[in-house]
Amino acid sequence: MSLHVERRQNDAPNVIRVDIIVWLGGGPMRSTVRCIAAALAVCVSLLPATAIAQWFNYPTPGTPRLPDGKPNLDAPAPRTADGKPDLTGVWRGAGPLYRFNIAQDLKTEDIQPWAEELFLKRVRDSRKDSPLAKCLPVSVPFQNFFSMARFVQTPALTLILYEAPNSPHRTVFTDGRELPKDPNPTWLGYSIGRWEGDTFVITSAGFNDKAWLDSAGHPQTESLRLTERLRRRDFGHMESEITIDDPKVFTRAFTIKTERLLAPDTDLLEDVCENESDAVHLSGDKGIRLKPELLATYAGVYEIAPGREFVVTAIGDLLFVQGINEPKLPLLVQSETHFMSTATPSGFEFVKDAQGKVTHVIVRGNAGDQKAVRKSSAAATRK
């Protein structure tokens, strides 16, 4: 694979173009994406699935097969000698819905004011101080939603190996020990596991306050405690539930339920971050601040095509956009009516009628301009 990154004259200051050529069995395949510089990892995730899924094609031993030779992901889950479900295998991340904003379903009162203020500041700065941008490890929740991971299950411990830049592996001890009372704070914490029927329960503590819970910038503190519940429903599907309890960041614990999909006949790739010299060039917003009252006039439900809608929400002095079953993404202010996504190569221009009422928004992206008609203004605002 070859990777070419460039910045073109007409691109915005915080936009780069990534040209990736992958050599498959039949020859090279090229994919080009245009993205925010601080979101390079997100851009790579936008590549066609064939560019990601065909690195290896070595049949995984013990995988049940359909008549056409494809893995039967609906077959019964394998079990260990003691009858427990065997979680061993390479699993895809739980999906992008909470990867960017882990608190997107919470209310204002659920987040400590200082944590909300820090989160919004990091968003405005295009996440230029993210641990990922500095070649440092990322948090356990971020790993769960983003990274491919190999589970290696043994009677005394379970190892979780991540395909993520500079992120160490996790060791989940299952030998009956308890969590240490005063653990040395680390990026991924200290984890112990136990079985409740067919559900593997992981309890973790001992985290440092350097990692971000998501890519947008919700902080974590040394008070963080995680409880993960994993249940391999069948051969190819694992129910994943994570409860986040950090009273210094959130006023209550909350739980996110997702699902991980097995990735058979493949393996993890080495993923090393070794060049952070460009971090100094990452820029945030333009310093433009719009009044919450003005932003509230943009909030609403917009239809970009029949059956395709997205919601614009005002939170303080920022706008957020969220499609159906998609993450809630913040928009950076470019002018009074122009905004840019911080995670995808999309711009948003709000258009008003003669009376000053917003009628539609023009979504600008790689596929060209698309018009999204405003259907209602009944979107939530948060101060």
How open is the CA angle 111-113-119, to the nearest 5 degrees?
Answer: 75
pLDDT grade, residue 318 (50/70/90)? confident
What span, in angstroms and rounded, lies between the C-alpha atoms of 358 and 351?
A: 6
pLDDT computed for residue 379 by the predictor? 56
pLDDT grade, residue 279 (50/70/90)? low
pLDDT grade, residue 345 (50/70/90)? confident
Residue 29 pLDDT more than 70?
A: no
Most confident of 72-81, 124-133, 322-331: 72-81
Residue type, 62: G
Mean pLDDT, the chain, rounded, equals 83
pLDDT computed for residue 45 by the predictor? 44
What span, in angstroms and rounded, lies between the C-alpha atoms of 125 and 314?
A: 18
Mean pLDDT confidence for 83-104: 91
pLDDT computed for residue 255 by the predictor? 98
Cβ neighbors of 295 (< 8 A, separation 6 or more) are 314, 317, 318, 319, 381
List pLDDT tens digits, range 357-380: 999 999 998 878 999 999 987 655
Q: Which CATH number fits domain 89-261: 3.30.450, 1.20.120, 2.40.128, 1.20.1630?
A: 2.40.128
DSSP 149-210: EEEEE-SSEEEEEE-STTPPPEEEE-SSPPPPSSPPPBSS-EEEEEEETTEEEEEEE-B-SS
Least confident of 92-101, 170-179, 277-286: 277-286
Selected residue with higher pLDDT from 274 and 193 = 193
Least confident of 146-150, 169-173, 249-253, 258-262: 146-150
CATH architecture for the domain at 292-382? Beta Barrel (2.40)
Mean pLDDT confidence for 337-348: 85
Mean pLDDT confidence for 34-50: 44
Per-residue three-class SS string for 4-15: EEECCCCCCCCE
Residue 283 pLDDT more than 60?
A: no
pLDDT computed for residue 48 by the predictor? 42
What span, in angstroms and rounded, lies between the C-alpha atoms of 198 and 79?
A: 10
pTM of the model: 0.77
pLDDT computed for residue 4 by the predictor? 41
pLDDT computed for residue 367 by the predictor? 78
Find tokens 């249940």 and name the residue.
231
**Residue ranges covered by each domain of the chain:** 2-54, 89-261, 292-382
